[in-house]
């Protein structure tokens, strides 16, 4: 099984995808004239503005839902894996992916807003919707929708719940074992899996609003607590921080684990963490209630900064500043750097737990376990939200409401499996999901640009209104020669009647 997963990942995460992710970010940064820099202040203003409605969630709630998808196991265990397999230089390439990915996030999230639809009293949208409407290629939209359901409903949740299970074992031990078809499983993981599945079922059967309400409280609170702990640890070693910066930067270009390992793991874990270009963030963006599509695009661009430049960097600094890491290139059997015991799992949350525990003795392991639980759990909720959006897209054609119920059961089963599975199997399946969506989404948004340039036109329109000092922004797709933006055409007609 593991060998098959590794072979598939070898094809999906070839150097071509890594360079495509970076190239797409450069491409859209230039086209938007580096929107991620020019509109930084506007991003922050929009973050706190806007209200929800009966049909849509607020900009902040949409940010919370998308952040719940971005801030997860990748920020704690993923950063550790990037350092462990690619060396400290991998962190630099995560930063590069975040900076360039902010422009990609603007493009895909604005497209999601432009082509969103109102279904069953809720706003829905995402790559499948904008691929069909902007490209007119329904077959490709269906491929993306099915791939997203597979990735977010089965493959990606496995990674998140696996991080929780491993963190709990690091805190409480195995607690004995129970025999199953998967072999002997630690009871701690089994109990954790049952609890997670029951809580997950309670929330996802309550609908999108319950997910948004839960994540808007939990995500900011846990992210803030995590950042405070990280900053405290960094402050206690502040004299070492300049050296850590130099280590990251120099190792990015003269990497101890090899250039391919550093850039490969940096880009892979960067894309996994901040999701820019992956096609998951646009689903939450489409659900937001805004006056202009560009507004939500800017908010989602800012979320990439929060995820990688804040949370991922905090994790990396904690690990590196306390020397709580080993480096062993993937496929190798010898350590390049060995600060910890040989049996510490590189692909799990152990590096981060050890880093915190080295300063706050007895506190690190349980704190990271709690943080990882909330980060990973809210990410699973975001994955359900994304998968359900794509089930709704498919349901427009085949009319099978029971598919949503089936999705819930499949997701809960995947979460149970992920909690008790081995980290190597879980991360392998997750990487397949991320890579598959990234290939399909990036190809789609590049094609959309060449055909219609909708997000670029929306940005210029927003900047024009911003310069004119309007109090209430409006969006007229017809005047911008954007077709099939039915939702916005209808909204403009209703406003004109008033």
pLDDT above 90: residue 458: yes
Q: At what angle do helices 208-236 and 364-398 cross, to 10 degrees?
A: 150
pLDDT band at 51 (very low <50, low <70, confident <90, very high): low
How many angstroms separate the most distant Cα atoms in the chain?
Answer: 72
Task: Report the alpha-carbon distance of residue 88 to residue 66 in Å, rounded.
Answer: 27
Whole-model pTM? 0.82
Within 10 angstroms of residue 336's Cβ, the number of other Cβ atoms is 15
- 3-state SS record for 334-355: CCCEECCCCCCCCCCCHHHHHH
Q: What is the pLDDT of residues 338-393, one digit of tens each?
A: 888 887 777 667 888 888 888 888 887 788 788 878 888 888 888 888 898 899 89
Beta bridge partners of 179: 184
Q: b/e map of 29-64 (b: 16 or more CB within 10 Å)? A: bebbeebbeebeebbeebbeebebeeebbbbbbbbb
Distances (CA, A) of 121 to 111, 199, 208, 482: 21, 25, 11, 25
CA distance 142 to 138: 6
> CB of 112 within 8 A of CB of 126?
yes
Residue 429 tokens, joined: 């399946």
Tell me the per-residue pLDDT of 92-131, one tens digit each, with 9 for 90 and over: 988 888 888 889 889 988 999 999 988 777 788 888 898 8
Q: What does the pLDDT average to over 50-59?
A: 54
């Amino acid at each position: 099984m593991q060998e098959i997963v590794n072979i598939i990942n070898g094809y999906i995460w070839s150097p071509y995808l890594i360079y495509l992710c970076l190239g797409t970010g450069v491409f859209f940064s230039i086209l938007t004239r580096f929107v991620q820099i020019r509109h930084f202040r506007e991003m922050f203003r929009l973050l706190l503005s806007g209200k929800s409605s009966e049909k849509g969630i607020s900009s902040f709630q949409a940010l919370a839902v998308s952040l719940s998808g971005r801030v997860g196991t990748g920020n704690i265990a993923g950063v550790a894996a990037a350092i462990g397999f690619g060396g400290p230089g991998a962190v630099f390439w995560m930063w590069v992916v975040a900076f360039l990915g902010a422009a990609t996030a603007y493009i895909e999230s604005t497209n999601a807003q432009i082509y969103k639809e109102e279904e069953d009293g809720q706003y829905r949208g995402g790559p499948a919707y904008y691929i069909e409407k902007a490209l007119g290629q329904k077959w490709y939209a269906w491929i993306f929708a099915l791939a997203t359901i597979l990735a977010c409903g089965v493959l990606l949740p496995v990674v998140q719940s696996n991080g929780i299970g491993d963190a709990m074992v690091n805190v409480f031990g195995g607690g004995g074992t129970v025999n199953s078809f998967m072999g002997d499983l630690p009871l701690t993981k089994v109990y954790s899996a049952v609890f997670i599945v029951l809580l997950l079922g309670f929330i996802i059967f309550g609908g999108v609003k319950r997910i948004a309400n839960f994540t808007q409280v939990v995500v900011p609170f846990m992210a803030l607590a995590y950042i405070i702990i990280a900053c405290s640890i960094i402050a206690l070693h502040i004299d070492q921080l300049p050296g850590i910066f130099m280590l990251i930067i120099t190792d990015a270009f003269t990497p101890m684990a090899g250039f391919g390992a550093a850039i490969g793991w940096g880009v892979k874990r960067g894309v996994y963490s901040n999701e820019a270009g992956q096609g998951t963030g646009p689903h939450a963006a489409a659900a937001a209630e805004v006056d202009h599509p560009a507004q939500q695009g800017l908010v989602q661009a800012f979320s990439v900064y929060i995820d990688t430049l804040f949370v991922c960097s905090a994790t990396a600094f904690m690990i590196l500043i306390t020397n709580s890491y080993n480096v062993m290139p993937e496929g190798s059997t010898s350590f390049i750097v060995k600060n910890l015991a040989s049996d510490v799992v590189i692909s799990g949350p152990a590096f981060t737990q050890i880093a915190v525990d080295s300063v706050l003795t007895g506190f690190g392991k349980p704190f990271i376990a709690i943080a990882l639980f909330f980060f990973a759990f809210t990410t699973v909720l975001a994955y359900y939200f994304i998968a359900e959006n794509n089930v709704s897209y498919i349901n427009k054609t085949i009319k099978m409401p029971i598919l949503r119920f089936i999705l819930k059961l499949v997701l809960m089963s995947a979460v149970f499996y992920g909690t008790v599975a081995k980290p190597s199997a879980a991360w392998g399946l997750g990487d397949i999901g991320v890579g598959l969506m990234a290939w399909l989404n990036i190809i789609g948004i590049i094609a959309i640009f060449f055909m219609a340039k909708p997000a670029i036109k929306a940005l210029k329109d927003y900047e024009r209104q911003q310069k004119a000092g309007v109090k209430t922004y409006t969006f007229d797709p017809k005047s911008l020669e954007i077709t099939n933006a039915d939702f916005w055409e209808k909204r403009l007609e209703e406003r004109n009647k008033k």
